[in-house]
Amino acid sequence: MHNSKENGWRRKEGEWVTFMYCREYHEKIQEGSHSFGSNPSLLDSESVTNSHYDLLGSYLGSTEKAKEAIFYSYNKYINGFAAILDEDEAKEIAKHPNVVSMFLSKRYELHTTRSWNFLGLETDRGFANVSVWKKSLGEDIIIGNLDTGVWPESKSFSDEGFGPIPKKWKGICQVGKGNPDKFYCNRKLIGAKYFYKGYQEHPGPANVTFNSARDFDGHGTHTLSTAGGNFVAGANVVGFGNGTASGGSPKARVASYKVCWDGCDEADILAGFEAAISDGVDVLSVSLGGIFPQFGSGNAISVGSFHAIANNVIVVASAGNSGPSTSSVVNIEPWTITVAASTIDRDFTSYVILGNKKIYKGASLSELELPPNKSYPLIASDCKEGTLAKQNVKGKIVVCRRGGSARVDMGVQASLAGAIGLILANDRDSGDGVIADPHVLPATNVGFADGNAIFNYIDHRNSPVAYITKVKTELGVKNNPTISSFSSRGPNKFSPTILKPDITAPGVNIIAAYTLANSPTEQPSDKRRIPFVTMSGTSMSCPHVAGVVGLVKSVHPDWSPAAIKSAIMTTATTNTNNGVQILDSYSLEKANPFDYGAGHIQPNLAVDPGLVYDLNITDYLNYLCGGKFLSDDFKAFYGKPYTCPKSFSVEDFNYPSISIYAANVYVYKSFSVTRTVTNVGPPSEYRAKIDEPLLFHVTVEPEILRFKHKGEKKEFKSYIVYLGSHSFGSNPSLLDSESVTNSHYDLLGSYLGSTEKAKEAIFYSYNKYINGFAAILDEDEAKEIAKHPNVVSMFLNKRYELHTTRSWNFLGLETDHGFANDSVWKKSLGEDIIIGNLDTGVWPESKSFSDEGFGPIPKKWKGICQVAKGNPDKFYCNRKLIGAKYFSKGFQAHLGEAENVNFDSARDTAGHGTHTLSTAGGNFVAGANVFGFGNGTASGGSPKARVAAYKVCWNGCYDADILAGFEAAISDGVDVLSVSLGGRSPREFSESGISIGSFHAIANNIVVVASGGNSGPQISSIVNVEPWTITVAASTIDRDFTSYVILGNKKIYKGASLSELELPPNKSYPLISAVDAKFDNVPPAFASICKEGSLDPKKVKGKILVCLRGESARADKGVQASRVGAIGMILVNDEDSGNGVIADPHVLPATNVGFADGSAIFNYINRTKSPVAYISKVKTEVGVKNTPTIASFSSRGPNDLDGKLLKPDITAPGVSIIAAYTQANSPSEQPSDKRRTPFVTMSGTSMSCPHVAGIVGLVKSVHPDWSPAAIKSAIMTTATTKNNNGVEILDSSLEKATPFAYGAGHVQPNLAVDPGLVYDLNVTDYLNYLCGREYTSDQLKVFYGKPYTCPKSFSLADFNYPSISIYELDVWKSLNVTRTVTNVGPPSEYRVEIQQPPQFQVTVQPEILRFTHKGEKKEFKVTITMKPNSKYVTDFEFGKLIWTDGKHHVGTPITIKYTDL
């Protein structure tokens, strides 16, 4: 025996690092490895260790020598030890009758390569609420839009997937004679009309086409697509904000009413209302209005919107853009929904860096950028047209104060004068709310305070300089929304007792469809044309609410407009995504209801408000009575006389807000108001809660409202000290309408002298729902006609201004990968589940392990935070990271003392363990990103779980340390173990530390999740194939970090990168392959992969180097390229890597392209005399379609150890995953790279494994009584084999993937908590499985610790696994297999569905399973037979068995292979 001192723990030839498993010396043998129970005492453990010393000492000569040799005694749940032995000693000890297994401690490799978002657990603004889009997409709701028309060719109005136009639609697609404008409608854009005669009577610009509803301005296209636009993938503004655009009701039908030309005239507006009501719209979006509040019978919007509401059409209107002035809110009708504007959690950020190193954040969408690494002269000036002198401005950055002219126009003026850049500083009224515009030069908009600082810097410097950084898209920005500075404010100037605005919604930097007839800056000199653009204003927030209204109305078609309005208001929030009060961007102080009304809209809650405040037409008329309207005024709205009630208090008007005007309240006297609520939910009891205003006391009677049924109403009191409508019905005939028009002619003709003159003067006859007309009259004629007894109201045709200034995502309607499912995070965040991780340790200071908000450590925890004496490493645990231990002796025994390795700490110096542990159970961390890319909130799958790190990997991971880690984790009380490590090929279970350790963990009710390996796409490369573990493959998500290769022949190839560096723009660079750049004496194969020392700097310097992927690390190739002077690198996949590309944080501009694209690039180099290329800067793309795909590196089945067991079990995200990282290593893991970042991307099954571990934590938290096998079954049987495009998941080869790539499919966490049925297993089943593999009694003791008698017969095919794998089926013979399912849901009847393998017939008996109670078990038989006329095939065939009760779909993959002939 060589002791540690003599040999320095170095393993010489003939030495063995050996594991031993021992029988108990105790007389009583109980279930498990030891005779004691599941909670061994210190005395029990010491007794076992002493028995190990005694046994080994009997061979080595003394217990002292045994103590020196043994470096682990597994003495709690596993019975055995690890010791240094030579080969002869090992052989002798193996013969001992109590030694059941003995094997070498081998080295394991780490399995290394937007996610919870992609899995539907969250949105960019927090938790994913139950999305209303799962109930409705606004199908067959018709949304009308009064605006500047529509650009019908926009993809937002594509009718792909739409059925016939709803029968209720009565409108048309109005075109000019011969349709010279080529304007067409479809099944999405079902109607369009134009109304210009009111505008035409005013002087306007020439060259205006009046015979088309085509939008030449862009405003109407933007607003209509925001309300009801279809899904459009890849929408962006000059490359920024890339994602899927849609309206709030993406499957609604839409209709455009062009009433705005150069302004919007009342005559045209009223005609638009009339047409929309007649056509049958459900919702009207009106993003226009006056500069000052107007209301009453003399206002077209008031009258038109009233008639719309009277016909059950909901009207949504913009609040105006005259903020932050008080009492500036317009469209204040109590029957409309008046919308303020606020920000979202996405910024388009561009910074100003002054010469004094001060940095100020701005906003921009300029696609141009300043050349880097240089500052430019700075000058302050007025930027209005004609004010900039070229000799003063040329080559400088000009600083202008916002106001007076359009923001983008200032950029145009600066550009025309020769400025190199623009800083647009807000004026005082604009405050600190900045807006991103698509400027024609590098530019940014900064807030008022920051602008003042910049002006001050200019004034106090002789030669002021600055730099404007390139624009970056930031997502998940906190403290949003804020109220936009431009958004008009209350109080309601006309009627202070009605709070206005009603609601706020996204209205700043909103991306939506645009016209191709106008530039994004709306400036004639700007020749750019783009299909999507950003706009800001209450014009943008208005259609957001209109889209939400469409959803609510679709779900609740019987609700009144007032009920829908109430639902939207009463479910709003006044808090930001940071959980604090919404701020005003102007003052950065807390906003109030005059800024946001009821608050910020929450569409998912609006469909289920519980109670509503309802109103009808009579209530609105009574409101007018309370406003002292005259009888004639009522006729403009009602069309006939209306008798006001004798007493009506405006304060009692049943509005969803209570506004008490000071003039109506006497000091020290009580004041009461009443409200009535209607129950729209199930029977419930509601209790009143009051947030009291300062200086006032508020009480409510009664304090409790009890509802027995839907529709029940309850009243409560709150105490505090025109020519009107027509006589015909709601469906006027053509004859009715003609009769009304003729009456108009007759009336006017009686004043003008003839009906012919009247026909010339009248340009609108409102003859269906509104009774009136618009005509050209002089002042005297107007005065006379106003006196006619039938004339209710008469007013001038006034001009209105348009209200112009990532969104549904921000509102929680969607995630970046599609619809938001019912999130399990609403049931559990993994609270007090304990997740252990066997890996490289942990970086405890990472924010992912912050214990903020965590309570006491669970009492079940028995672990410690292991630190060396004096804790020189300053390693601390907390209430989140509740434990850490390190195990190095196996590694030390194998390699000896490594240089500069601290073996006395669980601190992670590699980064792998920190990444995996935070992926499984990391806390929420806002603003997580990798060099600015992928910005958002990072978290683990069980973000509120407790976590524990077991450092078992150093330079590799050894069996001894791994088994010690398992032992500790079982003892400490973990619930889930994540094991992202394994061998390169599967080992027999009895010879694997992972197999043995994981069996003992399962026996102690711990779920073990393991990575499947990174040796793909080679077949049968899958590892960690134990039937008791969950084996995880890796696949992509719907986020790409994209960087393109642009060759000199104009061919463009998409790659992946996270390089923070970029090549100078507008230039191509010489291109060279690594083989052409090699030293003369270097083999081509060696150089092709850019191995260190193979490349000649003289050949590479200043060029883009093309390297082949393989052998060395991807990031290392970039380091080598940089060392020899390359300006950039293209990393080309080898054939095995296929087309799956990976984004790495390279040290130079670089991108990874697929095999096919790489072949094209090599071909271009070989055939071009002077090849050149450019690598574009990295952009984050979300919502990428046809994902997931299986990663090329992900190890594949079939299971080489046992073909009768399908492995992997499941696939999960494992490519370019952002998670926490160590600060002791660079992101490229290269010593020359001095960068440090708290988060990094990694790819591998190491990353997919902790995703599943986090999900296991959620399922176990919701179902703490479920066995590990039941949880595994739930995850497998609810998986999907479809991608986010609804087609089969593809392999990295772009062919259909199979169960050997993905197991049961891609994990779906929200379904896994409610699988319906599970395939359960226990320890006895696993032992019987090993019996089926012909394990001897002694081999079984490795796992069971005592004798186990195998059953006389056991078929592996009948092993109750959630998949069916037939490895050798005899030709023309049938095979029967049985399975048993356990009902974990309510009583149900399940029917079988079979997706048949092509060459086989699969039948099931019985075909129906009826369950009467939870926990009931049912057995079924599956018979597999070769189909008649089938051909013998050597490959596997795949199918699927599904049990379904209509709600649950319990899927079981089937794999079949013939017996080899």
Which residues are known to be catalytic?
A: 147, 219, 539, 839, 912, 1246
Residue 49 is encoded by which pair of tokens? Answer: 């260790």
Give, in order, the Cα–Cα distances in Å from 919 to each of 852, 912, 980, 1255, 1257.
18, 11, 11, 10, 12
- Secondary structure percentages of the chain, helix, strand, coil, to 5: 25, 25, 50
End-to-end CA distance of the chain: 53
And the tokens for 425? 């500083």
Going along 1272-1416, which residue ranges are E strands? 1317-1318, 1364-1369, 1375-1383, 1388-1395, 1400-1405, 1408-1411
CB of 217 closer than 8 Å to CB of 513: no
SS3 1325: helix
Structure tokens at 711: 């529709």
DSSP string covering 76-143: SSS-EEEEEEEHHHHHHHHTSTTEEEEEE--EEEE----HHHHTTSEETTEE----GGGT-S-TT-EE
CA atoms of 1283 and 1289, how far apart (whole Å): 5
Q: Give the pair of three-digit tokens for residue 378.
A: 């700075």
Q: What is the C-alpha to C-alpha distance for residues 1136 and 801, in angstroms, rounded to an integer?
A: 61
Q: Which residues contact 1345 (CB under 8 A, 6 or more apart)?
A: 23, 24, 29, 32, 33, 34, 79
**What is residue 945's DSSP assignment?**
S
Q: How far apart are CA 99 and CA 1193, in angstroms?
A: 39
Query: Containing H/E element for 1158?
Result: helix 1155-1167
- Tell me which residue of 723, 794, 792, 787 sits closest to 750, measured CA to CA: 787
Residue 395 corresponds to which tokens in the numbers above?
A: 């080559």
Which of 268, 232, 245 shows the shortest CA–CA distance to 148?
268
User: What is the rounded distance in angstroms from the CA atom of residue 710 to the CA atom of residue 683?
Assistant: 7
What is the residue type of 598? Answer: A
Angle at 696 between CA 690 and CA 701, to 5 degrees: 45
Q: Nearest 5 degrees, angle CA 631-CA 636-CA 637?
A: 95
User: Is omega for the bond preceding 1198 within 30 degrees of 0, making it cis?
Assistant: yes
- Rounded Cα gap, residues 1271 and 1424, in angstroms: 28
- Tokens 């190199």 — which residue? 420
Q: How far is CA 1188 from CA 430, 1015, 1031, 1137, in A?
A: 44, 19, 18, 16
Chain Cα centroid distance, residue 1269: 30
Residue 229 · residue 253 · CB < 8 Å: no
Reading the block at residue 323, the tokens are: 């903020």
Q: By the 8 A CB rule, do 345 and 124 touch?
A: yes
Contact yes or no for 1162/1215 (Cβ under 8 A): no
Report whether 1212 contacts 1244 (CB < 8 A). no
Length of the chain (residues): 1461
| Residue whose pair of structure tokens reads 């129970």 in the numeric block | 37
Query: Closest by alpha carbon to 888, among 900, 899, 896?
Result: 896
Q: Judging by DSSP bridges, how do beta strands 834-839 and 946-951 pair with one another?
A: parallel
Following DSSP, what letter does each residue of 651-662 receive, concatenated?
A: GGS--SS----G
Dihedral pair phi/psi, residue 922, rounded to 5°: -65, 150
